[in-house]
Structure 1
């Protein structure tokens, strides 16, 4: 696979398109760690607006959804998945280098898994709502969900970063549909698709 997933066009396969969105969103976090945050302390600074929230916690939590999805695909069918599994207090929550490494490893694992499984491959999702519900879904749907879930957490990262006086790129934390609707350019914006 090309190292430039972001350059995929609308003629790409659906698998390539969904992978491209996931990689773009995860690379936004790599860019945050590499070019906007200057100290490990910024990962652990608690938000004044979102109680208990830190940039590091959001990075880890959003990344976890991709890992849980990738891991479930290595299990036998019906590929059991539960997003409610939490492994908190990971090094990526407190270390810029650990965050960068974890994000890059997640991208590499996604690139390995996406093309070895069809988007329609079935997954059995267990959701605690607080009642335990078992739902049938697909790999493609969950890959899209993980990407949008990530964007949702990037919007909260944007709030915490703003509290720290850090101004992020205009598209950080905005869903592709919002960027397209607003006619905004960018990796996930209107130059890619029309709604």
Structure 2
């Protein structure tokens, strides 16, 4: 029997955790924190629905609403894929566009909170090494094997990438965001450790 591909290795020891439960808890914690950044943005920083649909001058075609929906959908599609009977198939290109969360603050908050609830339902009992077949267009159709842990980790990094673009658009609109919005949790921890040592938070 051949050994597993290094790219798909997801044992607790390789992830730096002593057991699967700890690994799942940490992945869930990070994913939740990233999605809650978006919930806080919608509920506390935005003041009108129009701010969700305002077009960026720096990132053509981009709006805050589109970035929120796009990133949130990756978490939701992954949760749906792992909830179905094996073999699990995941296709991020099946996202629905022009949904209410792109233009309505309440709908955005509801959709983001729904994604968080989905993760809290499936992650605690999921097998991190559960095989998933990923379909993608790059622009050519691709089919590749991955795992649940790898895709949940990717969804978080992917969301942070889009939150950084949301920060750019918010700046164009004069919207004040939390200092930590758009930063990965690991970066926030690093910044806080530097601050504790009396060093600048940059």
The higher radius of gyration belongs to 2
Deviations 1:67-105 (A, max 9, x none): 110111122222000111221010000100111111111
Q: 5 Å matches for 1:66-145?
A: 66-145=75-154
Q: How far is 1:138 from its partner?
A: 0.6
Q: Does 1:47 align with 2:61?
A: no
Q: Does 1:185 align with 2:200?
A: no
| Structure 2: unaligned runs, 5 residues or longer | 1-16, 197-202
Please report the TM-score for the alignment, with normalisation by the length of structure 1. Answer: 0.85
CA root-mean-square deviation = 2.1
How far apart in 1 are the matches of 2:149 and 2:50? 36
Q: How far is 1:34 from its partner?
A: 0.9
Q: Post-superposition, which runs of at least 4 consecutive aligned residues in structure 1 deviate over 6 A?
A: none
Q: Does 1:27 align with 2:36?
A: yes
With over 3 angstroms needed to count, the CA separation of the structure-2 counterparts of 1:153 and 1:115, relative to structure 1, is same
Q: Provide the residue aligned with 1:163 in structure 2.
A: 172
Deviations 1:86-139 (A, max 9, x none): 210100001001111111111011100102211111111111111211111110
What SS does structure 2 have at the residue aligned with 1:64?
Answer: helix
Alignment: residue pair count: 178
Please report the TM-score for the alignment, with normalisation by the length of structure 2. Answer: 0.82
